[in-house]
Structure 1
Amino acid sequence: MDQIIVQLKHHVPIVLDHTRLPKGYVVFNAIQNDVRNEVNVFKSSLYRIVLRYVNPNAENVTATISVNSDNPLEVDQHVKVLLQPTSEPQFVTVAGPLGVKPSAIVLDPGRYVFTTKANKNVMLDYFVLLPAAYYEAGILTRHISNPCELGNMELCRHYKYASVEVFSPAATPFVIGENSKPTNPVEVYTDPEHLQIVSHVGDIPVLSGSQNELHYIVDVPRSGQYIFVIDYISDRNFPDSFIIQIKLKEIFQIQGPSRAVADIEDGSRFPIISVTAIPVEQWSIDYINPSPICVIHDQQCATPKFRSVPDSKKIEFETDHEDRIATNKPPYASLDERVKLVHLDSQNEATIVIESKVEATKPNLFVILVKYYQPSHPKYQVYYTLTAGKNQYDGKFDIQHCPSSSGCRGVIRPAGEGSFEIDDEFKFTITVRPL
């Protein structure tokens, strides 16, 4: 994981001005516009390049770095780096002519020649090759993906499904008694530790060898195709998978919604929380694929932080909207008291408008990063309009199911790619439409 540091001082003019710079720098100008450095690489990896430089000009300077291998079978590589004006030594990661995304180069063991070119008066001290193991820090990071389980609640990931409450799940079944009349289930799941972990209040009816049918009255809003979702937990004494059957015995019209009676048969002990009928046109895989909430450590929900974005303009949604700050935050968002949220509701307050400005920069290209919490619904789309000077951008982006204690981030680009051109003032509007 060793980094490679290369001094740019071999057989080229240098400048030494103790009043401005702490050490000698290579000077690039119209006469001396390139410098070559030989580098020996000992490990195969993706590498990023970091430069230490001074750009005394009033405008940005774009330099080019060419990488040539002694191996004739390897392809030459070329990357560009944006050097912004600075009177003091600065570090910059090579990230293309716009300075947006770090440019990686592929190096295998062997000898390479790095040629740096700049046609304007800039000064370079040295560059550093950082292997992927260094900047990704994979060996220093432990990825926690194993789900929390009963009896294993330490350093595990807590998950949550999208809510089915809008579809009125049936949670109170009945069984047919000896007199052929409906009665309450006799066998229930009562493990207090398990019920507390899944935040369930009350006992849960079970399917078993002696109670092999549960009948549910399921309300459906209209005739059509439905997908049934069973919400269940596993008895710790019966950890194996089972197959159960759902039978729709009869559908009949009454005043109000239609009702379906479902028989669930199985010979094993199987706690059933609820049965839900979801119209096929409203189906989402998020109803059966859970999303992460947090990592459980020392019986607490750890709340990691997103990395800050350098050289960015951060605008809080509550700015100029203090009257719309949510008083009831999502359960896990309330872990951080500093988080203030604005609630968007397609039925009431469906739109929010942000007006701000950016500092004049070149290039004046931006992407928009939105942080949000969305703990209840499956993925859906939100619509936006960005007006900046004579430019207007309209589009939509996905809001994922996000019960995470840290929230989620979504990237917005015009037409899904590219960048927004913003010179000064801009107006950004987000609208939620009915699902």
Structure 2
Amino acid sequence: MEPTAARGSLAGLLGIWGVTRAALLLCVLKVVVFPGPDVTSDVSVIYRGWYDVLVTGTFPQDDVTWQYPPAAALAVLSPAVLPFLEYATAFFVLAFLADAVTLALLLRGARGAGRYRRGAWLWVAGVPLLGPTVYARYDVMVTAVAVAALLAAGRHPRLAGALMAFGALLKVWPALLLLAVRRRAAWVSAAVTGVVVAGLFAVLMPGAFAFLGFQRDRGTEVESLGALVFHVARHHGWEGEVLLNYGSVEFLGPYVSWVSTGALFLTGAALAWLVLWRLLATRFAPHTAADAAFTAVLLFTVTSRVISPQYMVWLVGTAAVCLCFQESRMGRPAALVLAACPVTTLEFPVWFGSVVASDGLGITLLAVRNGLLVAASLLAARALWCATVPGRREVPSAPGPSWAERTTVPS
């Protein structure tokens, strides 16, 4: 790639990022009205309410909607660093900055031999396809931490372990990234960071772990894979109902506990498969940690009792790290995740009323979105297994990237 073409590609990438992110900011600031229910109320009402409790030095331990590990308090309190802005506006600005940091990390991860800007392009494209929900939740901040951890895993294992542990204390799922880490230093660093940070919260702020009981009691959320059973069953005499429960819209009624238990069983089976893979895998390459992390997050997302739209940010971020590596086997699963992003926006917030009503449009959107994620999970798991476990045929790489994807930043 000629230097002029590489610079032009980078300028185009940054230009698209700037235009799309400006559009997201206009939506969350309500300069432009996005169709569907207001996605910003979580920040302006729920987060702000938690903020008022957290600043008193305690967690909202009597609020069942607080279902997050203790370091999530830092995300909710973060608008305090911009005291000259109203709470919600400050939060949106910080979400925008987390988005920018993630892009910068992915561009840095594209440097060197065997690295591509495909990951940065995926991030630039995937985030706006998820709509303004991305900036109206703190998941983009957690994803920035996870991306930093995965990119650091090769050369800076201690830093990677510390970031993974801190991410897990922000929103649990980054703990999955440790499954792919081989260096003992990363595990030691993660353990020390987790114990110290969790211990500080437990000592300094009452109710740091009240969220564990609230998570245990959650049911089947209407956007999850298992919820499709009840969406269809409502048309055949099922007597349950849809209600706001534990902070999300869930199915309540006969057999819901069975489906919720089934989801937990599938999550356990996914964990067992990942542990088996880790025990049998012997062929590790620089991209293996990212591929395994993406696969793990996919498996835990599709088997969860809840698949909220913001969960897609996790998948886009971890997939983007995979695509920074030329030899990654996650091209096709990443493409399916990208295809699922606009469908996710259509089911929430655009036509969420149809999802709640279980009408034909709502069921179709959920079936397509969840079907894409299931297909991505199976493809990713197969590719990871075949590429790393002895005696299995290696899955061929995805077709070569386009001229924009092949560009690398000079070292």
Higher strand fraction: Structure 1 or Structure 2?
1
TM-score bin (small chain)? under 0.3
TM value normalised by structure 1: 0.20
Q: Which has the higher helix share?
A: 2
- Which has the greater radius of gyration? 1
- TM-score, normalised with respect to structure 2: 0.21
